[in-house]
Structure 1
Amino acid sequence: MAATVWVLLVLLGGAAYIGWRLHAYPGGWAYAFGDAYAAERRDLAEARRGVRELERAARRELSEAKGKVRGEETRYRERIRGAEQRLKELQNPGRGELQQTLGELTLYQHVLRHRSEDIPLAGLKVRFESSRHKYYIKVTRPNGRVRDVHYPRTQPEDAVRRFAVRIENAVADENDFLTRRKGLIADTETELIHARANTLSQEAAREALARVTARHSADDRLPAARAELDAARGRWHAETGHLPRT
Structure 2
Amino acid sequence: MDVVALLLLLVAASALWAVLRLLVIYPCRPGEWQYAFGAKYHQKREDLRRASRDRGAVLRKSSEDLKAIDERIAEIDSSTSERVQVLEQQRQKLLNPPQGERVDGEGELELYERSLVFLEKAPEGQELPAEHPPVPLAGLEAKTESDSGHLYIVVTWPCNRRSATYPLTKGPEVRRLVDAIYTAVQQEEADCGKREREAADIIAEIQRIRADAATQETEARSERAERIATQHLNQQRADAAFQKQCDNWAKDTGRRPHSWWQW
TM-score, length-normalised on structure 2? 0.51
2:246–2:256 CA contact under 8 A, matched in 1: yes
- 2:95, 2:196 within 8 Å by CA — same for their partners in 1? no
Which of the numbers 229, 243, 262 marks the counterpart of 1:214? 229
Is residue 51 of structure 2 the alignment partner of residue 47 of structure 1? yes
Which residue does 2:26 correspond to in 1? 25
CA 16–84 in structure 1, closer or farther in 2 if over 3 Å, else same? farther
Q: Distance in 2 between matches of 1:21 and 1:82?
A: 61
Cα shift at 1:35 = 2.7
**Partner deviation per Cα, 1:147-206 (whole Å, 9 max, x = no partner):** 999xxxxxxxxxxxxxxxxxxxxxxxxx8xx65533332222222232333322222222
For residue 238 of structure 2, the aligned residue among 217, 225, 234 is 225
- The one of 126, 141, 162 equivalent to 2:110 is 141
User: 1:18 deviation in Å?
Assistant: 4.0
Shift of 1:123: 4.7
SS across alignment from 2:206: helix
Q: Equivalent residue of 1:141, what SS?
A: strand
* Correspondence for 1:124: 102
Q: Which residue of 2 aligns with 1:56?
A: 60
- Distance in 1, matches of 2:89 and 2:19, equals 62
Contact 1:72 1:205 in 2 (8 A): no
CA distance in structure 1 between the aligned counterparts of 2:60 and 2:27, rounded to whole angstroms: 25
Letter paired with 1:186: A
Aligned residue in 1 for 2:249: 236
Contact 1:76 1:195 in 2 (8 A): yes
CA 84–13 in structure 1, closer or farther in 2 if over 3 Å, else same? farther
1:41: Cα distance to partner? 1.3
CA deviation after TM superposition for structure 1 residue 209, in Å: 2.3
The residue aligned with 1:170 is none
RMSD: 4.3
What is the CA–CA distance in structure 2 between the aligned matches of 1:24 and 1:192, rounded to whole Å? 58
Q: Structure 1: state its 5+ residue gaps.
A: 94-109, 111-120, 127-139, 150-174
Aligned residues: 181
Q: Which amino acid in structure 2 is aligned with residue 228 of structure 1?
A: A
Shifted more, 82-91 versus 44-53: the winner is 82-91
Larger Rg: 2
Q: Counterpart of 2:244 in structure 1: which amino acid?
A: A
